[in-house]
Amino acid sequence: MSAATKEILGRVRQMIPPMLEKFHKGQLGRVGVIGGSEDYTGAPYFSAMASARLGCDMSHVICTPTAAAVIKTYSPNLMVHPLMRSSPSPDSIPAAADADPTQVASRIIALLDRLHVLVIGPGLGRDPLMQETCARVIKAARERSMPMVLDADALLLVQKDPGLVKGYELAVLTPNVVEFGRLTKALGVDEMVREAQETAGEEAKVEALAKTLGGVMVLQKGREDRLSDGKKTLTVDLQGGKKRSGGQGDTLTGSIATFLGWRKAYLDGLWETGGGLKEEELLALAVFGGSAVTRECSRLAFAEKGRSLQASDLTEEVHTAFMNLFAEVDSEAGGARL
């Protein structure tokens, strides 16, 4: 890894809570993943399991009833809430509470006080009722100053209504190359940075997009991951795998969410932190840490599976990736890459 990456990971390490007997259930992170529909059940599972395997205490999935029945069979370790609803078919007569996005959202919003971080988008799809429901949940989470990670089809909400997250510095967007292109085009960023790109390189667009959104953290996934709040841009240059199978971004969202949960634990002073980190840098460090763990998962899984690699292979590497990068923060650092 580069010297810059090594230095940043050293700072990330400071925000990782040690394993202490005094902690109780839930203090080291409570993550809720909103997504999962009839067609997409794997994505929310991969996101929630990544958060759990990395060290989040409690991982929830909030999805449709049809998705919940499937996701519950994947693992007994996740808490699955069948609270989302999709648009009714033309020949059905749903209950009024199941067709009104405000009423559907109200049941999800009631859960927010039990959570520290939201991930919105894995397996969400483009169903109008689900999209409208999530828009209401985003507004409610923002009112509660809750960190949130938006990915996949949740990014369509930002594309259509940037005001949902504009100016909200606790929002993290994780677009892939196609989603990033849609966002920059929809928000007029392409023209804005054309001249800047000629002189400032590839960092210009991600920085401009974050700035256009008023300080939202944008993580541009690619050969190298770039993250920016419009003021400062960091590059995660750790080697990843070469297989581009679907679902790897879900490990990323879950990993970032756990680091954001640890951010709260750090700010709450749950252990003797030494106070070496400033509050304003913690969100970027959390996103950097989540990206680094995911890239190491990808590298490890590809080394073993090669071209047969699937998203589930990353899930199995989360703990090893964490140990490779950070070792046990409360014991000997033998074997750590730092």
Annotated binding residue at 326?
A: no
Annotated binding residue at 244?
A: yes
CA distance 39 to 124: 9
Annotated binding residue at 243?
A: yes
Annotated binding residue at 190?
A: no
N residues, the chain:
338
Annotated binding residue at 160?
A: no
Annotated binding residue at 151?
A: no
Annotated binding residue at 230?
A: no
Annotated binding residue at 180?
A: yes
Annotated binding residue at 245?
A: yes
Annotated binding residue at 307?
A: no
Annotated binding residue at 249?
A: yes
Annotated binding residue at 224?
A: yes
| Helix or strand run (H / E) with residue 58 | strand 58-62
CA distance 185 to 160: 12
C-beta separation of 64 from 38 below 8 A: yes
Question: Could you give the C-alpha distances from 39 to 48, 66, 81, 87, 303, in angstroms and in order?
Answer: 18, 9, 17, 14, 30
| Helix or strand run (H / E) with residue 222 | none
- 246 phi-psi bin (left φ>0, alpha ψ -120 to 50, beta other): beta
Annotated binding residue at 163?
A: no
Annotated binding residue at 193?
A: no
Annotated binding residue at 178?
A: yes
Annotated binding residue at 159?
A: no
Annotated binding residue at 223?
A: yes
Starting at the earlier edge strand, list the strands of the sheet with 58-62.
Answer: 79-81, 58-62, 30-34, 117-120, 148-150, 171-173, 217-220, 225-228, 233-236
Annotated binding residue at 242?
A: yes
Tokens of 256: 């970032």
3-state SS, residue 112? helix
Annotated binding residue at 274?
A: no
Annotated binding residues for ATP: 221-225, 240-249
Q: Which residues are annotated as a binding site?
A: 123, 176-182, 221-225, 240-250
Which residue positions form the known binding site for (6S)-NADPHX? 123, 176-182, 250
